[in-house]
């Protein structure tokens, strides 16, 4: 199996990776492999499917907000 050596890894990246590994009960190596796997195997989002999913969720909730109501709620959340 191939191996990889990382040089000049920033301390903060090492620390964050180590914390993630502990949180996920994995070794540092296993966590790094998982992060790399997710990065290179990330799937593209199909915009049409995303819109269809949003519409299905909206139908389930049964509430339709106007753009003005959404902006007002967003702006309240920022203050």
DSSP labels, 11-76: HHHHHHHHHHHHHTT--HHHHHHHHHHHHHSPPPP-HHHHHHHHHHHHHHHT----HHHHHHHHHH
Threshold 0.75, pTM exceeds: no
Asked if the structure places residue 1 within a domain, the reply is no
Same domain membership, residue 66 and residue 51: yes
8, 53, 64, 69 from 58: Cα distances, Å: 48, 9, 7, 15
Over range 43-66, report the average pLDDT. 88
Least confident of 20-24, 43-47, 69-73, 75-79: 75-79
Asked if the structure places residue 3 within a domain, the reply is no
Domain count within the chain: 2
Same domain membership, residue 36 and residue 21: yes
Asked if the structure places residue 4 within a domain, the reply is no
Asked if the structure places residue 72 within a domain, the reply is yes
pLDDT of residue 33: 96
Q: Which domain holds residue 32?
A: 11-40
pLDDT digits (tens, 9 = 90+) for 4-49: 999 999 999 999 999 999 999 999 999 999 999 999 988 888 999 9
Which residues lie closer than 8 Å to 33 by C-beta, 6 or more apart? Answer: none
pLDDT of residue 23: 96
């Amino acid at each position: 199996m191939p191996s990889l050596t990382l040089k000049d890894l920033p301390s903060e990246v090492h620390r964050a990776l180590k914390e993630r590994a502990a949180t996920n009960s994995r070794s540092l190596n296993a966590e790094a492999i998982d992060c790399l796997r997710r990065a290179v195997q990330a799937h593209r989002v199909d915009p049409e499917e995303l819109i269809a999913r949003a519409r299905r969720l909206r139908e389930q909730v049964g509430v339709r907000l106007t753009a003005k109501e959404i902006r007002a709620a967003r702006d309240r959340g920022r203050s």
